[in-house]
Each structure stands twice: as C-alpha cells, then as structure tokens.
Amino acid sequence: MDFTNPLVYGVPCFLGLILVELTYSKAHNHKLYNWKDLGSSLFMGIGSVILAPLIKTISAIVIFNYLYELCNPIVNGVRTNILGYQSFGYAWYVWVACQFLDDFTYYWFHRQNHMVRFLWAAH
C-alpha cells in the first residue's frame, strides 16, 4: 500500500465523516442528510474507480492498434514499416511535434471528460 497517496487517508476520512453526519442527523431527528446525494456520490466514486482504468485501457488498446495498422500496413502479404526509425529517427523536431500533439490530445480528452456524462463518472 502506498502511504504517500492522499486517497489512502482521504477515503476513510470521507466515509467516516459521512457516518458522523448520518448519525448526527438521525440522533437529532433532523433531515440534514440527503440520500440522493449519498447515492450520487457513491455512484460517482465507484464509477471513477471502475470506469477510469477501463476506459483508459480500452482507449489505449484501440488507439495503439489503429496506429500500428496505419503505420505498418500489409503490402503484398508482408507487413511494411512506413514510419519506423529509418523514416525520422531521433530528429529533434519530431520530439517537439510529439510533445505538442500529446498535450493537444490530452486537452481534448480532458475536455470531453467534462462534457460527456459517462466520461465524467470516470474523471
């Protein structure tokens, strides 16, 4: 267990505070606790734990498979490497372009996480 991860401490504290709030609400006969909020929070938490790794793994597999097929097509029954190291090697401008493209794709990925409800559950 990684004790430098704040979730190791945050999740038990969060659950403990939910129990304190629920106990206080029941003991004082107040209707301070909203069950819909609990259900929503639990669903979002479970969605984040389950959907985030699942979406990221499936996305990586699909994207890498597509790029592999695109960059290594089968020509006359032989897989041809059209974008191998022989094509652009270690040129500095390729690395700079890859940095910008990586940042650009992450921006759109993160933006879609905020706009699509299914992705928001994994955000």
The pLDDT value recorded for residue 87 is 58
CA distance 32 to 24: 9
Q: What is the pLDDT of residues 14-51, one digit of tens each?
A: 889 888 888 888 888 777 777 788 788 888 888 778 88
Other beta carbons within 10 Å of 112: 13
CA dihedral 29, 33, 35, 37 (to 10 degrees): 170
How distant, in Å, are the alpha carbons of 3, 54, 66, 72, 90 from that of 59? 29, 8, 10, 19, 27
Per the DSSP assignment, residues forming a β-bridge with 66 are none
DSSP, collapsed to helix, strand or coil, labels residue 75 as strand
Domain range list for the chain: 1-33, 34-88, 90-122
Which pTM was predicted? Answer: 0.44
Q: What is the pLDDT of residues 48-107, one digit of tens each?
A: 788 878 888 998 999 989 988 888 888 888 877 776 655 566 678 878 888 999 999 999
